[in-house]
């Protein structure tokens, strides 16, 4: 009897642990993975997807400081998209976790590259590393997770700044190039993998009041995320390879 009593706390703990794992996986509309989810649009996406009944995995470079993300109930993974070892560790931690929707959101604006005389080439390399190669590292590492998910959606948060047709006023050469390149890469994988049921899109989240533009946007992160979540949840195979804004409008390349 004494031995049985000793086992009670252990059994209780194992039941609690297994039920919390199950809660994460079942009874949800799917699992969404979001990079840069500790602030700005990424955090608003985590909040909106969580409120809509999805299980959220959000990444942060400093998980211990990601208080608002933690409050959404998201599983938090540490990730710096420029660091291959960090990407590998994150992927290892998520091995065998099916991902329905992968969202590459993390990004930086970098220095303004308007002036050829003062242009900082090293800074351009950093912007390309974060905004273009970062999403590629993440897609490469987590593609098996997406293939084992049911919805098989990959959303790369781009920008209308990446549209060459919409570039009518200059500015931000490298940021623009980083998003144009992301658009191109997204299109290639859309063509390669669409036939296997994977849907790749690039999206412009609107001009959003975040740290990136020192709060100068014309919509809030919550407005942007609400629109993005609706468009993303409605995506199907016919959207593969397209470029949409946060309201579902098609954008020119
Ligand atoms: N705001 C806009 O008007 C606007 C318009 C068009 C497109 N976008 C795009 O929307 C996305 C989100 O932008 P935002 O406005 O929300 O920016 P933000 O408020 O500056 O947040 C950027 C996020 O990216 C993360 N990040 C930066 N470098 C990273 C790295 N090396 N590894 C991992 N995470 C990194 C940041 O993490 P830390 O907190 O650790 O720095 C942060 O979570 C970006 O791709 C941006 O280009 C924004």
Q: What is the CATH number of the domain that holds 91?
A: 3.40.50.720
Residue bearing the CA closest to ligand 1, atom 2: 208
Residue 27's pLDDT is what?
Answer: 83
Domain assignment present for residue 14? The answer is: no
**Residue at 117 is within a domain:** yes
pLDDT digits (tens, 9 = 90+) for 57-79: 999 999 999 999 999 999 999 99
What is the structure's pLDDT at 26?
Answer: 57
Domain that holds residue 147: 28-245
**DSSP H helical segments within 26-169, as ranges?**
40-51, 67-71, 84-93, 121-128, 134-147
Calculate the average pLDDT of the chain: 92
pLDDT at 21 over 80: no
Ligand 1 atom with minimal separation from the 44 CA: 16
Pocket test for ligand 1, best of 34, 41, 213 (most atoms within 8 A of CB): 41
Total number of domains constituting the chain: 1
Which pLDDT score is estimated for 8?
A: 44
CA 107 / ligand 1 centre spacing (Å):
4
| 175 in active site | yes
Asked, for residue 9, whether it belongs to a domain, the answer is no
6: number of Cβ within 10 Å: 9
Could you give the CA distance from residue 203 to residue 53 in angstroms, rounded to a whole number?
22
73 domain-assigned: yes
Question: What residues have CB less than 8 Å from 144, skipping those under 6 apart?
Answer: none
Burial of 169 (0-12, 13-18, 19+ CB in 10 A): exposed
Instruction: Give a yes or no: residue 2 inside a domain.
Output: no
In the annotation, is 207 catalytic?
Answer: no
Tokens of 173: 């050469």
**Considering 179, 193, 209, 244, which one is annotated as catalytic?**
179
In a domain, 253, yes or no: no
pTM given for the model: 0.92
């Amino acid at each position: 009897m004494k031995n049985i009593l000793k086992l009670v706390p252990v059994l209780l703990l194992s039941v609690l642990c297994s039920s919390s794992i199950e809660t994460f996986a079942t009874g949800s509309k799917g699992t969404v993975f979001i990079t840069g989810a500790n602030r700005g649009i990424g955090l608003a996406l985590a909040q909106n997807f969580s409120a809509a009944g999805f299980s959220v995995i959000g990444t942060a470079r400093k998980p211990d400081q990601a208080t608002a993300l933690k409050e959404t109930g998201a599983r938090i993974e540490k990730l710096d998209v420029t660091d291959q070892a960090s990407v590998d560790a994150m992927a290892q931690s998520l091995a065998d976790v099916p991902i329905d929707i992968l969202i590459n959101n993390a990004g930086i604006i970098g220095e303004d590259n308007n002036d050829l005389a003062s242009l900082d080439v090293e800074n351009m390399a950093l912007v390309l590393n974060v905004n273009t190669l970062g999403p590629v590292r993440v897609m490469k590492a987590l593609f098996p997770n997406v293939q084992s998910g049911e919805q098989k959606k990959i959303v790369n948060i781009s920008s209308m700044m990446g549209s060459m047709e919409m570039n009518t006023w200059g500015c931000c050469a490298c940021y623009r190039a980083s998003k144009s390149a992301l658009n191109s890469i997204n299109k290639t994988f859309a063509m390669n993998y669409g036939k296997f049921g994977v849907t790749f899109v690039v999206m412009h989240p609107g001009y959003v009041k975040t740290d990136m533009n020192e709060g100068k946007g014309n919509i809030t992160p919550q407005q942007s995320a609400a629109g993005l979540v609706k468009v993303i949840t409605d995506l199907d195979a016919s959207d593969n390879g397209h470029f949409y804004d946060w309201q579902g409008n098609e954008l020119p390349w």
